[in-house]
Structure 1
Amino acid sequence: MENSGSKNMQRPPMKPYKCLLGTQILLRILATTFTLASTWIILTSKQTVTIFGLEMDARYSYSPVFKFFAFANMIGCAFSVLSLLLASVLGHKVLDPKNYFYMFLHDLIVMALLLAGCAAATAVGYVGKYGEMHSGWMPICDHVPKFCHKVSNSVILSYFAVIIYLCLAIVSANQSRQIQV
């Protein structure tokens, strides 16, 4: 008889839990959307121009940094879809705070990967836009503005995904505090 009473006392209220689950699902949908859009934009960014009779081609695949950025967003998108499926399918059944700790680790790793890609792409984008006169690197965005604009949009969308993953990591860390050791 005491066993059934103690089980009822340990269950958290369902309304805040459903609100939290709905928020997580919404944020994961947004993260998936932003990483997918960022991936699509960077993969389709290319421009060919002719300068002084020379044809200049700008593509994401010519830069290892932009390749890393594209792959980071692809991986982030895939893991966003995976975590969205796990949150929506298992979220209704499992109330264990240990699952929030695992989601915290997941969100933190994806956020770090996306942030590394964004930081690298931002650095190369800055050099592409403004050049580096001490090293002799000339700005190229004056010559291929369409390419630079698409890369900038892709990086901005990816930074939005980083912010969303930061929020998800904070929410998951907060919920994992309830783990009983």
Structure 2
Amino acid sequence: MAAGTIQPGGSGGNPRRRRRGSGNAPMAEINVTPFVDVMLVLLIIFMVAAPLLTAGVPVELPETAAAPLPQEQEEPLAVTVTAEGIVQIGSTEVPREELVTRLQAIAGERESDRVFLRADGSVPYAEIMVVMGALNAGGFRNIGLVTEPGGPTLTGAGAEGTE
């Protein structure tokens, strides 16, 4: 073949050659992958940070092997008993003599009678029972005790941690 012959697939030029101007045409697609990645990272950050924002009182919760309670639509009421014996409704400190009247006022405004009792592990059992009695007298019959997961169990492998 001679040097000037026409190659198959075109007019003698490179068959892989692009048309003029097609390389500079604007893309009609939007790449949403970076946006989704950023949103997932923000979701994880907020999921981790949200529980830290609800409880501003340092309390050493006792550990247990019990399963957590299911979540409700209404924001749960939390009553906290600190290591010093201070009782708080949410983040507001309440004197013990006013506890029942405040709880009755709150119970009248709420749909649910569920309350979560958070107590420091060093608080004596008798003091926790006094607060539970006040919760009951205030109109809250559904009391959940808040603990940290991963505590000792009374069955099998976890029994050695119950000293």
TM-score bracket, normalised by the shorter chain, equals under 0.3
Please tell me whether Structure 1 or Structure 2 has the larger radius of gyration of its CA atoms: 2
TM-score using structure 1 length: 0.21
- Structure of greater relative contact order (alpha carbons < 8 Å, 6+ residues apart): 1
TM-score using structure 2 length: 0.23
Higher relative strand content: 2
Higher relative helix content: 1
